[in-house]
């Protein structure tokens, strides 16, 4: 996947994008053109261009499925933000603790999202990875 390099500065409500480049070297040269002894230091963020392209083209939606170790679905939520799937080309990410797994995925519908989450749950159990820090 192609990456872009975002030059940003500021924090919280003062955060802003200053420039976007197709090479890290150009982004570094851009930053070096400015006095960096100031309050808002510029930083380079690497972002993937067209993340989750196939999922978006196929009309899939972003879901979060909360599932316990036994496979009981506690909640299925159509996501209202990119949380859990931000800045990744993977169409799935997950977090879990000893009780619950949060599976963030692109799926056709809620039933499909639960199927994806259950497949991940089965993998974790087969690898004896449930509850292990990731």
The pLDDT value recorded for residue 89 is 60
Q: Which residue has the tokens 């955060």?
A: 15
Which value, in Å, is the radius of gyration of the alpha carbons in the chain?
A: 19
Q: How many Å is the maximal CA-CA distance in the chain? A: 56
On whether the pTM is more than 0.75, the answer is no
Q: Which two tokens stand for residue 127?
A: 């690898």
For the stretch 116-128, pLDDT in tens is: 999 999 998 999 8
Q: Angle CA(118)–CA(124)–CA(129) in degrees, nearest 5?
A: 155
108-132 exposure pattern, b = at least 16 Cβ within 10 A, e = fewer: eeeeebbebbbebbeebeeeeebee
Model confidence band, residue 85 (pLDDT cutoffs 50, 70, 90): confident
pLDDT, average across residues 84-98: 70
* Helix, strand counts (H, E) of the chain: 3, 7
């Amino acid at each position: 996947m192609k990456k872009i390099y975002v030059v940003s500065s500021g924090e919280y409500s003062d955060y802003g994008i200053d420039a976007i480049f197709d090479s890290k070297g150009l982004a570094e040269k851009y930053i070096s053109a400015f006095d960096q002894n100031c309050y808002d230091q510029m930083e380079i963020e690497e972002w993937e261009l067209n993340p989750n392209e196939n999922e978006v083209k196929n009309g899939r939606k972003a879901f979060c499925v909360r599932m316990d170790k036994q496979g009981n679905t506690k909640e299925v939520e159509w996501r209202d933000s990119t949380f859990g799937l931000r800045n990744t080309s993977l169409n799935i990410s997950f977090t879990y603790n000893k009780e619950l797994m949060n599976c963030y995925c692109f799926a056709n519908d809620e039933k499909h999202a639960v199927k994806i989450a259950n497949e991940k749950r089965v993998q974790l159990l087969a690898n004896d990875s449930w509850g292990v820090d990731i």
